[in-house]
Amino acid sequence: MAKAAATWPLDFTGAPRYPCRTLTHRPRGDGREPMDEQALREMLAQVKHGGLTRRRFVQALAAAGLGGPVAGHLLGAAGVAAAQPREAEFTPARRGGGGTLRILMWDAPTLLHPHFGRGLRDFTVQRIFYEPLAFPAADGTFVPVLAEELPNRKAGTLAKDGQWVTWRLKRNVLWHDGTPFTADDVIFNWEFAIDPATAAGTRAAYDDITRIERIDSHTVKLIFKKPQPFWASAFTGGGLLPRHLFERAKGAGAREAIGMLPAVGTGPYRLAEWRPGDFIRAEINKSYHVPNRPFFDQLEIKCGGDAVGAARAVLQTGEYDFAYYVLVEEEVLRRIEQGGKGRVLSIPSSGVSFIQCNQTDPWREVDGERSSLKAPHPLLTEQPVRTALSLLVDRVAIQEHLVGRIGQITANFLNSPERFRSRNSTWEFSVEKANDLLDQAGYPRGADGVRAKDGRRLRLLFQAAANATVQKVQMVVKQTAARAGVEMEVKAIPASVFFAADVNNVDTNVRFHADLQTYTVFTGLDPQLFMAQFASWEVPAKENGWTGRNIVRWRDADYDRLWRKADVEMDPVKRAALFIKMNDLVVQQAVVIPVTWRNVLHAAVNNLAGMELNSWDSIFGRIAYWYRA
């Protein structure tokens, strides 16, 4: 899930050579302002010495086509103090006193575990209880949580090439059971994640750490296997587990221990009751390490139901205070909003909704495994078939009539941060061209209008998580596909099952027992881990416990070379170009079919305040600062 911006290998130290230098005003061909490296260095120095505001710097980079995350991380690399998230207007004089906060999560979480959760809902809810060393703020910088300060070169806690980093931890932090948080807990989480027997979903974030040195009880030094273009993937996303409780549940028994060990973290609330997929009750952490926080005494989270019902319970009736991820078609949402009890919060995100084309045969079992690399897909391994399917996705109809403000049409899989977004990709809706492609590929229509080749009908199963809007998207695709002689069956699986962490459940998106499937994924500020989902070694299989991230099961040597090169490339411009090539490769080959670049919508009652609209972290990451106005 959300990580952070790439480390730019520039050493910004000197004072400005000129009193003031800003962007020259010679527009480029695309209308954006030009910027050279010297101008960039001098502007950073001006910010550092008070001659230029952070806001003006961010605006200048935006004019040059560089987004907020780039500006934020350049400021961090230059040693300029990170902007703290805007504090809520309410400054409490004591902890608690706010009563009960009632939350709805129709996309029901099934795990409260920072290393095993699958999908956005599990990552989101675990942040109520577990905390990282630092989290990515809305502007792309980092904010310390369990760390005393952010690593930086001025303090001598960050290597210039990112080969090592030192974290100084916050003192007087207690786990929910009263045990002190120390350096041993940090080291344990690394050991937990990288143990192959544990099969943790977070392993990729920790793999590049070769060792962690315990400097003292509250200081650790991470040494990486190689210089890091992005050193902050570990310890800045999901939360940390307590060593004293989970050490005995490391390795092969880790998954079996889920549910047997309580969710004990350092967060603002402690778990009081947990019925997976149904209900969560959390009570205030009276020993929370932030003074006078949180405001609410108790959380009640009702799980399940549907997105429309959740939106109504907040916006129309006010029965609940907050509804998470209201994935509701635009026309319906507008009617519900007229209830007047609340408002919709829209967060621009890195998420992309897309269709996956399974590269393995979901109907043939080989060595006890379906969707196996040993059985290539008989239809979808053909490029013309995949390209035809892409031409049959009516993105305009989906966006205008179903998605609305939830998203905009995109031709890219990797859309954010901006510097990684390809300008080479295009999309098109053309039933005529799809028909021509399938004709040329040797798929004539049969008497019933369905195409076939070598006796195999062009019939596909298209699955997704159960949601009214998503099922309508499926139907749009099904109907247009029929016009090209492609027969589709749509299948809706309960979201709690489709995104479940139980790898033995064959209806999960990871097992992919279908030809096509659609859902939404989110990248972090750095796309290295995100784009690993197309790396050949990441294919989920029986032998690795279906823990790989390459769900589409596509393998390409050129892609693997690009990914490995990006993993060590220290030049930010060259590295961005590599990710653009990766995006172009998967999109042009139609291994995935991007549909919309998403906004995440939540619903809140009118008197609920203090929420930080941050696309890079869980909406509950700052729940300690929520209050009732």
Pick the CATH number of 91-117+267-341+606-629 from 3.40.50.2300, 3.40.190.10, 1.10.10.10, 3.40.50.460: 3.40.190.10
pTM (2 d.p.): 0.72
Task: Tell me the three state secondary structure of residue 2.
Answer: coil
* 164-168 sheet: strands from edge to edge: 164-168, 219-224, 209-216
Tens digits of per-residue pLDDT, 120-136?
788 899 999 999 999 99
Position 592 pLDDT exceeds 90: yes
pLDDT band at 23 (very low <50, low <70, confident <90, very high): very low
Q: Which residues contact 157 (CB under 8 A, 6 or more apart)?
A: 149, 151, 165, 166, 167, 168
List, for residues 285-312, the tens digit of each pLDDT value. Answer: 999 999 999 999 999 999 999 999 999 9
Q: Are 240 and 132 in contact (CB under 8 A)?
A: yes
**What are the CA-CA distances from residue 482 to residues 237, 361, 445, 458 (Å)?**
43, 22, 11, 10
pLDDT at 409: 94
What proportions of the chain, in percent to the nearest 5, are helix, strand and coil? Answer: 30, 20, 50
- For the domain 349-523+587-599, what is the CATH code? 3.10.105.10
Strands (E), 269-338: 269-275, 279-284, 298-303, 322-323
Listed residue (242, 114, 221) closest to 168, CA to CA? 221
- Residue 251, CA distances (Å) to 139, 195, 243, 254, 501 in order: 37, 6, 13, 6, 16
Average per-residue pLDDT for the chain: 87
Percent of the chain at pLDDT above 70?
85
> Which residue has 């001006």 as its token pair?
46
130-263 falls under which CATH superfamily? Dipeptide-binding Protein; Domain 1 (3.90.76.10)
Flag whether pLDDT at 159 surpasses 60.
yes
14 pLDDT more than 50: no
Q: Count, in order, helices (H) and strands (E) of the chain.
A: 17, 20
DSSP label at residue 90: -
Range name among 116-120, 140-144, 541-545 with the lowest pLDDT average: 116-120
Helix axes 54-63, 37-48, angle to 10 degrees: 160
Please, which pLDDT band fits residue 27 given cuts at 50, 70 and 90? very low
pLDDT of residue 25: 35
Gap between the Cα atoms of 289 and 393, Å rounded: 50
Q: So what's the pLDDT on residue 605?
A: 98
Distant-in-sequence, close-in-space partners of 542: CB < 8 Å, separation ≥ 6: 367, 368, 369, 372
Q: Where are the domains of the chain?
A: 1-81, 91-117+267-341+606-629, 130-263, 349-523+587-599
| Stronger pLDDT, 83 or 496, i.e. the higher one | 496
Q: What is the distance between the alpha carbons of residues 413 and 426, in angstroms, rounded to a whole number?
A: 12
Report the pLDDT value the prediction gives residue 84, as an integer from 0 to 100.
Answer: 46
pLDDT digits (tens, 9 = 90+) for 555-583: 999 999 999 999 999 888 999 999 999 99
> Which position has the token pair 């520039």?
10
